[in-house]
Structure 1
Amino acid sequence: MVDRANRPSALNAPSAAAPGAQVDITGSGASSKVIATLPSGESVEVLLFGATVISWKSGGGENLWLSEKAALDGSKAVRGGVPVVFPVFGPPPKEGHATSKLPQHGFARTSRWEFLGKSTSEDALDTSSVKLDFGLSSSSLSEDARSQWPLDFGLIYSVTLSKDSLQTVINVRNEGETSFEFQFLLHTYLRIKDITKVEITGLLGVDYIDKVLNATTHKQSEPSIKISGEVDRVYGPIPQDTTTVVEDGKPRFDVVRDNLQDTTIWNPWTEKAKAMGDFAPDSGFKEMVCVEVGAVNGWQKLDKGEVFEGGQTMKSLL
């Protein structure tokens, strides 16, 4: 269990002064999820397996893409939504690093997290947001994950739902005697209507590693990124905080980084979509784009007792 000062309250009845957010836990075992709904109708669903956000609705519509074949029973990482990548991004270093024995993208997205409770504004009349906290620590890992990364840590993952935005923030604490290095990324799948009408702005002049072109380094020379084939790029460091997804000439999402300098842009396109057994429908790549904020260029180091915090605020601009 993760210990936390000012731990949020457990589920309780909303204040009589005003209707508050409704928070429920549904399902059992690996399929358990937390659902929060604001009085104004916005909602978020978080699967305890991986603390994966699998739905974020606002303005009557869904903002996240989730594969029709996504495993929601704890059998594998979820394809879609917002998986949490920690403590390594992509395939780990082959040898000589603490993460070398871990699977791709680490263990956070395939571990069961603890729901620590909800918190709301101290103002009883303010019903415009609700924060859900989730915890994962070294003592709650599976035996396999613990043997692969035998370091003492605590994670707090906070998901805050507001009327027009969703904030997701990670707090990483070194709770052991030994320093450790890690990477972190939020693998966000944004739902769009037509990938051919999408542009991504806010990355002009930024260097990126193009994994489609043998991990070579390039500089973003155009003011926007247009996607007409497979894209897998890691941008960073990014000086400005906001990346915007524009669809059909109109801003659709702002993705605002907080203490994170990197962003991955990903779309599998036709062949890779067909090759992934849990990606459905095959044409689903036309309705999604991944804008993934993180700290993945190099490593973040934490000494004993040190804390790292970073995350994002996604704004729906409809």
Structure 2
Amino acid sequence: MVDRANRPSALNAPSAAAPGAQVDITGSGASSKVTATLPSGESVEVLLYGATVTSWKSNGGKTENLWLSEKAALDGSKAVRGGVPVVFPVFGPPPKSGHATSALPQHGFARTSRWEFLGKSTSEDALDSSSVKLDFGLYSSGLTEEARKAWPLDFGLVYSVTLSKDSLQTVVNVRNEGETSFEFQFLLHTYLKIKDISKVAINGLLGVEYVDKVLNATTHSQKDESVTITGEVDRVYSKIPQDTTTVVEDGAPRFDVVRDNLQDTVVWNPWTEKAAAMGDFSPDAGFKEMVCVEVGAVNGWQKLEKGEVFEGGQTIKSLL
């Protein structure tokens, strides 16, 4: 377990549903989604399948900030390609044997489980109309029989999504509700929407070590101030000292991705061949209009003893 506090510092984000924000639940079954809209027009959509954020619009609702594949499955048939899928309790392919997650599929079960909408939070310290907070829950009792058999541990997840005028905060709270300890990994697989990948630079990772999965999982150090993408990129940056990673497009800051109680970030773009090989990635050239900057705890394992809680997440700021 990483030697640090389980609970994050405050992100100064409002923690209550704001008067005037409109929240609607539409669809049925696996296609059910929760949509929240601020009086000023900003909005967020969260599919209950996977608690996947599929849309986040800022700038009065005019600017979509998340990339979603045209062939993304939104009916619960498979994990959503795009938006912000929640990865838990294992990142990537699980260990082949000898670990509690070994029987799980890649990226675990959170992104392919139906979550419960817990509603809007209210408190006395956020009486304004500039933000709305939505809570979603997933518990061991709500897993499919297959997932429960593969990972027979007692846990509770609460996922909080806070929409503000210029930002989206997503935080996961993990609680060990069983008698025995367990280990897990966690990642927010965020697909950011950009205009032209050839004009994108990612700053804030200088000097950070990373595992390059394109180069046989070898370890390197980020020597350039900016990460630029000219081919397939799949890197896991670990133990990042500063909290903010900035996505710059055409010389201007586009997004700030602010991590909280998380020290790892994955940078991913499938590029031409891999994008074409994925049946749910569309259009094939869509890789030119997206980049994944994924915050998480994936370097090793987080361990929770009975009754312990881990909390971590991100705030993405739209800088247009």
Q: What's the TM-score bracket when you normalise by the shorter of the two chains?
A: over 0.9
- TM-score by structure 1 length? 0.94
Aligned to 1:36: 36
Aligned to 1:260: 262
Q: Which residue of 2 aligns with 1:115?
A: 117
Q: Conserved in 2, the CA contact under 8 Å of 1:121 and 1:127?
A: no
Give the Cα separation in 2 of the matches to 1:242 and 1:119: 27
In 1, Cα distance between equivalents of 2:121 and 2:132: 6
CA distance in 1, matches of 2:86, 2:273: 25
Superposed displacement of residue 257, structure 1: 0.1
Q: Which amino acid aligns with 1:66?
A: L
Q: How does 1:84-233 map to 2 (within 5 A)?
A: 84-120=86-122, 122=124, 125-233=127-235
| 1:289, distance to aligned residue in structure 2 (A) | 0.0
C-alpha separation between the residues in 2 aligned to 1:245 and 1:309? 25
Code of the aligned partner of 1:84? V
SS at match of 1:44: strand
| Partner Cα distance (1:203, 1:302) in 2 | 29
CA distances 1:141-174 after superposition (whole Å, capped 9, x unpaired): 0000000000000000000000000000000000
CA distance in 2, matches of 1:125, 1:136: 28
Aligned residue for 2:214, secondary structure, equals helix
Distance in structure 1 (CA, Å) of the matches to 2:205 and 2:123: 34
Q: Is the 8 A contact 1:33 1:46 kept in 2?
A: yes
Q: How many pairs align? A: 304
Greater relative CO (CA pairs within 8 A, separation 6+):
2
In structure 2, what residue type is equivalent to 1:83? P
| Unaligned segments of structure 2, at least 5 residues | 1-14
- Tell me which residue corresponds to 1:55: 55
Cα-to-partner distance string for 1:38-93 (whole Å, 9 max, x where unaligned) = 00110000000000000000011100000000000000000000000000000000
Q: Aligned-residue CA RMSD in angstroms? A: 1.3
Q: 1:119 Cα deviation (Å)? A: 2.1
Amino acid at match of 1:21: A
Task: Give the whole-Å Cα distance in 2 for the aligned partners of 1:254 and 1:61.
Answer: 16
> What is the TM-score normalised by the length of structure 2?
0.93
- Equivalent pair of 1:121/1:130 in contact (CA under 8 Å): no
Which whole-Å deviations, capped at 9, do the CAs of 1:92-125 have from their partners, x for residues lacking one? 0000000000000000000000000012563575
Distance 1:121 1:240 in 2: 31
CA distance in 1: counterparts of 2:51 and 2:183, whole angstroms: 22
Paired residues of 1:65 and 1:288 also in contact (CA < 8 A)? yes
Question: Which residues of structure 1 form unaligned runs of 5+?
Answer: 1-7
Percent identity over paired residues = 85
